Every structure is written in C-alpha cells, then in structure tokens.
Amino acid sequence: MDGLILVLVISGAVTMLVLVSGMYAASTRNQVLGSYSYEYAGNALVALHYARDSDGNWFWLQLEEKRESSDPSGDTEDYLKANLDLIEKISASSPAGTNLLCFSSSGSFSDCYNLNNNGESLSPLPDPVCGPGSNAYSYTSFIGDEKISFILCY
Amino acid sequence: MKRRGFIGPVGDDLPTIIIIVMALTLFFAGFDYAMSAYNEKNKSLHALKAGLDISRALMKQNVIPEDSSGQVNPDYEGYKQAVLLSQSYGTSFSAVLKDGSCELIDCRAPEGRSVSVFSFLTAAKSSGGSINLKTLCVCVWE
C-alpha cells in the first residue's frame, strides 16, 4: 500500500516536471522570436533610410511624400508595386513568413501593406493585423507626421 | 528449522522494493527529461543572446563598410567588437553579406556544430563608395 502511494506521489511529481518544462520551453521560444524580430524590424527601418528606389531616389523620402499626398493609400501601394526589387529584397532578408509595413496616425493602423505579396494593401484590415492564430512582433518609428511599423508575422 | 512461506528478510519486502525502484526510476527519468529540456532551452537562449549581441556590434554603424570582396570589412570597428564579444561568450561566428535570403548559406562552421543563423536587412557601403541594401547573415556556433 505504501509503495502504491509512493508511485502515485512520484507520478504526480513527474507530470508536474514535464508540464513545467513544457511551459518553460514554450515561453523561451516566444522570447527568442520576440527579441530577434524586434532587433530585425528596428534595423530594417534604419536600413530603409539608405535605400534607393528604381529611379535612384531615396526610398524613405519618396514614401514620406506618398504618405502626404491626397491619396496616401493608393499612392503608397502604387509606389511599392513600382519598386518590387526593393520589396523582394526586404522580404527575402526577413526571418518571418509574412512581413507588413503599416502606418498609423491616431493609435490604430490606417494602412498596411504585405511585403510578401508585392506590397499589396490589406483591405479591409484584419484584426488582429497578422490574422487569427499568428504572432505579431513589430518595431515602430516615425515617417513625417505618421508612425510606421515593420511587423513580422509568425 | 524452516518457516513455511518465509523467504528471508529481503524476500518478504521484495514486492514493495520493486515498486519503490520503479517509482524512483520514473522520478529520475522525469527529472532528467525536465533538466535536458531546461538545459537545451538555456543553450538556445545563450546562442540567441550571443547572436544578437554580435549582430548589434556588427551593425554599430548604420552603414556597414564592405571590403573589396563585398564582405564585412574586417578592419571595421564593429567587426572587431563582434570578435571580442564572440570570444567573451565562448562562441564563434561568421558574417556574410548577401543580396537574397540567408537560406542555404555556407556558414563555414566546423562540421557537426549546431549553428544559429540570424539575418538582418542592412545598408552596406562598397569599397567603391556606393550604398546598397543587403542581407547580413550572422552565423553563431559554440
């Protein structure tokens, strides 16, 4: 009888150990993805300041100009589609399967563009932005009066 | 004189001993599983931290200077810092500038090592002075 009680207690302890180690493994995976993605997205936004478009103009300045036009959504999408080489270069370097470039002016995103789909505009904007079941990691900076976010979806 | 049904002091306790041995085996197997999961994750976190710190050193300047072969210039201050950081972590690394993704990259790591690859979008300045967007692939191994 004592032996059986011991087996029950030890089985419980082993189950707890396995569960806790599983939780630890899952939490570190998210930590790893989060740190790496944050670092990647931040550097990508800095690097975009040095990129030139197919006409030899500074990409960042042109993008800023498109965002200040009378039709920022349409002009941005047209501009991204006219610079597919650059868009492909960005998405090829990313560790994530889906990469979004999003703009916001008052807290919520106004426009998002899928860099893995030729800069196609996400319309209507999904909620959450990466779609249900996906994790989003992002870095946000400023472009003109707007915020620009590089979002990695896993 | 022999007593019927008595098979010695150990023999009488044999069923309990077997159960205790099985229970302890189960416990230590579970403990070993949990410890190996913990150690493996700690190892990957160590590699991640080393990889990110080395990459951060390499991207110390917003524009990475290239040498004549189109790779990170070893005379660049960020590269020297990355070497020192790598030594302090007890790891080795290689950094490759590419036009595309870091998949199928040759990390030049010794065979059999577990290699973590980190890729970053970066601006690189060629020896001719032109600046281009490139992918910086950083391979880190123990």
Other Cβ atoms within 10 Å of A58 Cβ, number: 14
The label of the residue with tokens 């070993």 reads B32
DSSP letter string over chain A?
-HHHHHHHHHHHHHHHHHHHHHHHHHHHHHHHHHHHHHHHHHHHHHHHTT-B-TTSSBHHHHHHHHHTSSSHHHHHHHHHHTTHHHHHHHHHH-SSSEEEEEEEEESEEEEEEEGGGTTEE-SSPPSSTT-TT--EEEEEEEETTEEEEEEEE-
pLDDT of residue B3: 62
Q: Looking at the domain assignment, is residue B2 inside a domain?
A: no
Contact call for A51 and B133, based on CB within 8 A: yes
Model pLDDT for residues A35-91, shown as the tens digit of each residue: 899 999 999 999 999 999 999 999 999 999 999 999 999 999 999 999 999 999 999
Say which amino acid occupies B104.
L
pLDDT of residue B24: 85
| Per-chain mean pLDDT for chain B | 88
Contact call for A32 and B20, based on CB within 8 A: no
Q: Looking at the domain assignment, is residue B4 inside a domain?
A: no
pLDDT of residue B4: 66
Cross-chain CB nearest to A21 (options B29, B34, B45): B34
pLDDT of residue B18: 85
Nearest-neighbour CA in chain A from B17: distance (Å) = 8
- Best of A43, A59, A86 to substitute, by most chain B Cβ atoms within 10 angstroms, is A43
User: What's the predicted TM-score (pTM) here?
Assistant: 0.81
Residue B123: how many CA atoms within 13 Å on its side-chain side?
Answer: 20
pLDDT of residue A12: 84
Q: Looking at the domain assignment, is residue B129 inside a domain?
A: yes
Q: Looking at the domain assignment, is residue B63 inside a domain?
A: yes
Residues 84-103 of B with CB under 8 A from A: 99-102
Contact call for B27 and A18, based on CB within 8 A: no
Domain interval for residue B127: 9-141
Contact call for A10 and B24, based on CB within 8 A: yes
DSSP code of residue B76: S
Q: Looking at the domain assignment, is residue B44 inside a domain?
A: yes
Q: How confident is the model at residue A32 (pLDDT cuts 50, 70, 90)?
A: confident
d(CA A137, CA A82): 27
d(CA A75, CA A41): 23
Report yes or no: B31 at the A interface, CB cutoff 8 Å: yes
Contact call for B122 and A7, based on CB within 8 A: no
Token pair recorded at residue A62 = 């042109």
Identify the residue with better confidence: A28 or B38.
B38
pLDDT of residue B2: 57
Q: Looking at the domain assignment, is residue B86 inside a domain?
A: yes
Contact call for A13 and B131, based on CB within 8 A: no
- Best of A93, A94, A150 to substitute, by most chain B Cβ atoms within 10 angstroms, is A93
Total domain count for chain B? 1
Report yes or no: B28 at the A interface, CB cutoff 8 Å: no
Q: Looking at the domain assignment, is residue B3 inside a domain?
A: no
